[in-house]
Amino acid sequence: MDTSNGVALIAPVHTIDLSLQPEDRYKALALAYADELRGLTTLFNALLGDLGLSQRSHGPINLFARMFLRGLNSPVETAELRGIAQVTGVPMYLLVSFNVVLDCLMGCTSGAVKTLEKGEPWSKTRMLHFRTLDWSMDPLRRILVRLEFVRSRSATPGQILARSVTYVGFIGVLTGVREDLSVSLNFRPLHNATRRRDHMRFYLHHLLVLLGYRQSIAGILREYIIPEDPKNEHAKRLEDIMEEVIPRPTTAAYLTFCDGVSTVVLEKDYGTAVMRYSDTFIGVTNNDQDDDDPRLRKDNAILEQISVKDSGFKIGMEALVEESRDRLDAIAIRWRGHVRKAKRQAKKDGKDASTVERNLTVTTDEVIEWLSAYPTTNEQTHFATIMDPMSGQVVWTRVYPPPLE
């Protein structure tokens, strides 16, 4: 994919056939991007640096990873990675690492807004799920793709079951949609543990995911968008997903689920979550909702616990959280301005302004404009996308090249 001209592009579309044996599903895609995937060794060490680990530790960590990172928790996903390793020559431990740590250090904006196109009846209203993904790893921009999942050996071989925007070699779901459900995952730079025992339990979970004894958060989301069982023809209801996901042990993350009628955002911790709901507008970046009040900001307390030795990592986290607030404010302010304008008009017309927001909509073009504006989309944005869970479609996607020097 050529991104040398500095212009945002549409992500290349590839098909993944779920009727194939797991080890064969991603081979053609991986072969097409083999040269780019072979650069994962360099990226792995760069990620270790971003995590605050000194260069001296990279060698021992690579050795440990080579010895112990043999697969993912799911045998199907492990087989898919083995197929990628076979055709690219990329060591299995690097593919495993890529799949379990990719949700670290990503700046993201996710959310949803009620939309209605001009001239359409009210019955056509739907919430569109918007999402950007920001990261400093510029080489990954070259392996961004849009995947469409089919089952060629089924009664409907041409039917697209699900879609995702992702990186080649990553087989979980960070951003995906099927009919009646869309999901996205944002990095959460803090967790709620206050006791040493809780901290140990949280980090033990990370280790168990790395070693393949527990499922990664992206693997859990994959189950809802790309079910392995062909009998799971219909997406689960948001209520059922919440019952399953909230108590499930996971890493800390922000999870957005939308069914086209309403949207839920989870501030997910190890075995708990704070849930927010909306059927008009909702957004999340990389800070908890109560962080908007300086008196309640948990992230400040967490960051103070990071030692001076890790000051570079701490500074990076502080910058990420601060930029996160700016990104969320930029898009939320547009919605609030839209609401204020509608309320003023309602008062002029002698109508009840208190019910305005409930019936307020924007167009798809307006959502694109909001999402594309700085700083929601910025120099570190890899891609932006809008999904329509009612139809199971990716409505709009743009992939951004590295910023020009």
Q: How far apart, in whole angstroms, are the C-alpha atoms of residue 381 and residue 349?
A: 42
pLDDT by residue for the chain (405 residues), tens only, comes to 444 455 778 999 999 999 999 999 999 999 999 999 998 888 888 878 877 788 899 999 999 999 999 999 999 999 999 999 999 999 999 999 999 987 766 789 999 999 999 999 999 999 999 999 998 889 999 999 999 999 999 999 999 999 999 999 999 999 999 999 999 999 998 888 888 998 899 999 999 999 999 999 999 999 999 988 888 889 999 999 999 999 999 999 999 999 999 999 999 999 999 999 999 999 999 999 875 544 344 444 444 444 444 544 454 566 667 789 999 999 999 999 999 999 999 999 888 888 899 999 999 999 999 999 999 999 999 999 999 999 999 999 999 999 876
In 3D space, the residue among 131, 225, 215 whose CA is nearest the CA of residue 176 turns out to be 225
- For the stretch 346-357, what's the b/e string if a residue is b when 16 or more beta carbons lie within 10 angstroms of its beta carbon? beeeeeebeebb
- The strand order across the sheet containing 13-17 reads 13-17, 144-150, 162-167, 175-178, 181-187, 253-258, 263-268, 273-278
Measure the N-to-C terminal CA separation of the chain; round to a whole number of Å: 20
**Helix or strand (DSSP H, E) at 181:** strand 181-187
Domain map (residue ranges) of the chain: 13-397
Closest CA to 206 of 241, 252, 170: 252
